[in-house]
Every structure is written in C-alpha cells, then in structure tokens.
Structure 1
Amino acid sequence: MHERISIGGICFPGESAREVTAHLRELAPHRTSLVSPMLFSEGLPALRELVQAGDWTLEYLMHPFLAPRQLSQKDAWGEARAQLDQVIQAAAALGAGSIYMVTGGRGGLTWEDAAAAFSEAIAPCVARAGDAGVRLMIEPASTVFADIHIAHSLRDTVQLAEMAGIGVCLDVFTCWTEAGLQQSIARAMPRCHLIQVADYVLGDRASPCRAVPGDGAIPLERILGWALDAGYAGAFDLELLGPRIDQEGRAAACRRTADWLGDFLSARGA
C-alpha cells in the first residue's frame, strides 16, 4: 500500500479496537487513525495496543469537540476543553501528529458569532496542543450536521481555522461542488495537514452516502492534483461510510480505494 495512505477507525464505525486491529492486519497500511469515542470507551491502553499491533503509525485522532452541545452554551466549555486536553495527551502519547474536530452547533448564533465563540472556547487547548507537538484541525462537514458543526464549505473552514489559529482537514467529499475550490485549496495549504478521500454517486440521498473512488462523479484526480500542485505533502485518509460501503464490505471497500489512490499517487510521483 502507498505510504501516504491512512486507513483507520473512521471506516469501521461502531467496531472495537480489537476488530479494527483485525482489519488493519488484513489491509496493512503504513498509517492508521482512530476516533476519540474509542479512547473514552476502551481507554488509552487499548488504543496503544492497536497502534503497536502492526507496522503502522498513528496519523490522527478524530474528536467532536463541543458536539452535541451548542457554542452558545458557555457553561459547557470547561468540560469540552478538559475532554480535548485528554485527547491531546493521548495523541502525544500514541505518536499522532494531529487531531481533527467538529466544533459544536451554532444554535441561534450568527455564523460570525459562532466562529468567534469557537475560537474563544478552544484557545486554551490550542496552546496546550502546541506545547505537546499536536496539530488541531477542523474539517468541512455537510449541512446535515449543522447540529454539531458550523463549517460546511472549505472556504468557511479555512476562515474559521485562520480565526482560531488551527489547521484544516480537507474532506473532498464535502466540498467538491464549491465555487472557487482551487483557490480555497491553495489558501488552505499552509495549514492543511490531512486530506480525506471518498467518491459520491449522483442520485444517492442517504447520509452518509460515500462510495469507492472511481464509482462516482467527484473529479478526484483534478481536485487531488490541485492539492499536490499547491504543495500538499501529507497523508491521504480514507473516509468510507454508508450503504454502498457496507454492502461491499468495509475492508474490501478500503482495499479497492487504497489501490485506486495508490495508483493515482504513484502516477503523480507523490
């Protein structure tokens, strides 16, 4: 498998650390990733055992910072900061370079007020993450997740990341239809530490409705090429979820995606 490809827990929702380990042994990636709910449910030793179970390194942890609460709930900020501090400590202990997040919902706030609230809420954690050598990031997420997140385009994600002094996770599935996408990718590059890859089949309405690259309509070669041309040198993470993935089999879908993505990266000399 190409060394820049990451496969991990996000592709196996609801599965235990032991089950994810079995998938990773079958797929043999060079990089993996995990979700913070697994940390809180199974504990750091289980995650450490997973990371040490094969010839892979931990790329990132995913963490739903304030979600499912709202950014207007200032009385919830302390608990959210404490949880993120635990995830930062775990990431540092496990050798993960980054954590990507959703923000929490905007509630009745304007986008601008919600963005300012997020920046204020996360500020102490940004400093602690920097001291620990861990990068914090946010991603664009579909508007169906407006209850737990405020950035639904790459443009807004980059603006929010600049306000908060953190990084960007570029989820191609979420932002591929945007106007000015090449320009937004170029703007994101100085703080982009992860790119997530999946395809979309036109007409699919279920959520999540992701597909293996090559099965759908997203011009992935063009978009990923823009990122490479803009200087992106990090990992390409698989985020495969939904009925098509489950029907094919999660590990099988990961294998087919990794083959497609590896061929693309090799052809580009990446």
Structure 2
Amino acid sequence: MHPRVNLHQVAFVRESTAAFIGYCREIGVPNMTLVTPLLMQPGGVEEAQAALAAGGPRAAVVNHPIAMGSSLDRVGDEESEKLLKAIDIAATLGAPVIYLVSGGRGSLLWEAAAERFAELVAPCLPAASEKGVLLTVESASPLNADMHIAHTLDDTVRLAEIAGIGVCIELNACWYEADLKEKFRRAMPLTGLVQVCDYVLGDRFTPNRAVVGDGVVPIEWLLGTILELGYTGVFDLELIGPRIEQEGPRAASKRAAENLSEILTKLGA
C-alpha cells in the first residue's frame, strides 16, 4: 500500500474505533482519519491509544465538526472549548492535522458567518500552534449547507484566510470547477489535507461518494496537478453513501485504497 494513502473513519462510525484501526492494519492502510464524535465519548481516546499501540497505521488526521446539529448564528463559545479538546486529542494521538466542518450559516450572510467561524477558532490558535496541530477547513457540497459554509474552493481558501488556518481540499466538492490548476496553486500554501473519492453521473443525493475508479472524476490529473504544485501530505479516502453501503464499507474501502495506491505509485508520489 502506498505510504500516503489515508482512510477516513466515517464509513465505520457504527463500529468501535478499535475495530476500524484493526481493519486498517489488516488491509495495510498506513494512515487514518479519526472522528471526534467517537473520540469524545467516554473512554474514546484511551480505546484509540490502546489500538494504536499494537503498531501499524497511524492517526494522521482528526475530523472535528463545529456547530454540528446547529448553525453559527445559534452557538456559543462552547464550540471553542470543544475545539480545544479536539486539539488536545489530536496531539495525544500524534495526529498533525485537524480538518473542520464550519457549521451552517443559519440566517447569517456568508461574510457574517465567516466572521463568526473565525471568532470561534481564534481562541484555539495558540494551543494548536503550541501542540503542532494544523487546523484546516474543508470544501463541501452546497447540499451540506446545513452544516458548512464553504462550497467552492475559492470560498474555502477565503474562509481559511479569514480564520487564519489551513485548507482541506475535498475533491468531491470542487473537481467540477473551472480553472482548477490555478485554484490549487492559490490554495497550496495553506493546504494540509486532500480528500479523494469518485462520483458517478446521475447520482443526485448526498452523500454520494463512489470508490476511486468507479466514476468520472479525473482523479489521476487532479492528484498529479496537486503533487506538481508541491503537496506533501496524505490523500484521505472519505467514503460514505449508498454505493459504499451497498458494496459494504470493508470491501469498498479496500478497493478504493488499492486503486488510490496504484494511482499514487504511477504518479511517483
């Protein structure tokens, strides 16, 4: 398996973190994204630490949602406290990157929502810097407007600049945009994570992820361009949706990891 392949826990949230880590070890995936909704449960961090102690995959990324189930016009400073806890968890597990879901805009204009997001993140920046954890914010489909505000790569970079953090390029949410090479070039100095999946034409629901190689996304060109521009991090497979459920998370994840590994090897990553 290519050393830069990373598998996201999202397809395995009905299982324990230990089971997910064990599965990654079994199929040879070297890196993982772990999620705070599970890690913040009682004993969640200790479970992950015990599973990681057996060797094999490392926790490369932690995913943390801000204002999940609410919106930025309704949440208080407790969201900053939760993010501080997420930073502590990432540092404890040795994960150098956290990627954030921003929270929805609610009744706010985009600019006001962005400022509120930045206000919530600001108290956490010194702790993240001290602990060596890079905070990033992802691009996400507009079908996720209830939980996120950055739905183009340009808006994601703009939001990251406002908040003083990094960028997670979610290819599922931007592969169809124009002038991508220049957008990647602008984003690259801030980019701490790239997420990969495929899309099958005609899927009109969310989440709508497909295994790498099953759809129409020009993955080899996208990854080649990102590598050419100097990206040195992992490539995260965030697999979720009916296609993944139908095939089964284990079979789909293994196939996606192997296909991504082949592409990265071909590209000389």
Q: Please state which band the TM-score falls in when normalised by the shorter chain.
A: over 0.9
> Pairwise CA RMSD of aligned residues?
1.3
Query: What one-letter code is carried by the residue in structure 2 that aligns with 1:52?
Result: A
Query: What one-letter code is carried by the residue in structure 1 that aligns with 2:244?
Result: I
Alignment partners' CA distance in 2, 1:128 and 1:151 = 24
Report matched runs for 1:170-249 at 5 Å.
Answer: 170-249=169-248
Q: Aligned pair 1:27/2:48, yes or no?
A: no
Partner in structure 2 of residue 70 of structure 1: 71
Contact 2:24–2:30 (CA under 8 A) maintained in structure 1: no
Partner in structure 2 of residue 146 of structure 1: 145
Q: Aligned pair 1:36/2:36, yes or no?
A: yes
Aligned to 2:40, what secondary structure does the other structure show? Answer: helix
Partner in structure 2 of residue 4 of structure 1: 4
Contact 1:18–1:50 (CA under 8 A) maintained in structure 2: yes
Partner in structure 2 of residue 51 of structure 1: 52
Partner in structure 2 of residue 85 of structure 1: 84
Q: Which moved more, 1:196-205 or 1:51-60?
A: 51-60
**Percent of paired sites with the same residue:** 46
Contact 1:4–1:234 (CA under 8 A) maintained in structure 2: yes
Alignment partners' CA distance in 1, 2:252 and 2:105 = 34
Quote how far apart the aligned CAs of 1:13 are.
2.8
Quote how far apart the aligned CAs of 1:44 are.
1.5
Aligned to 2:243, what secondary structure does the other structure show? Answer: helix
Note the alpha carbon deviations across 1:177-212, whole angstroms, 9 max, x for none: 112222111111111111111000000123211111
Contact 1:170–1:194 (CA under 8 A) maintained in structure 2: yes
Contact 2:25–2:57 (CA under 8 A) maintained in structure 1: no
Alignment partners' CA distance in 2, 1:27 and 1:54 = 13
Quote how far apart the aligned CAs of 1:167 are.
0.7
Quote how far apart the aligned CAs of 1:219 are.
0.8
Cα gap change, 1:92 to 1:227, in 2 (>3 Å):
same
Alignment partners' CA distance in 2, 1:152 and 1:159 = 11
Alignment partners' CA distance in 2, 1:136 and 1:77 = 20
Query: What one-letter code is carried by the residue in structure 2 that aligns with 1:91?
Result: A
Gaps of 5+ in 1: none
Note the alpha carbon deviations across 1:131-157, whole angstroms, 9 max, x for none: 111010110111121111110111100
Alignment partners' CA distance in 2, 1:13 and 1:141 = 20
Gaps of 5+ in 2: none
Partner in structure 2 of residue 116 of structure 1: 115
Hey, which bits of structure 1, 4+ residues long, moved more than 4 A? none
TM-score normalised by structure 2 residue count: 0.95
Query: What one-letter code is carried by the residue in structure 2 that aligns with 1:232?
Result: Y
Aligned to 1:195, what secondary structure does the other structure show? Answer: strand
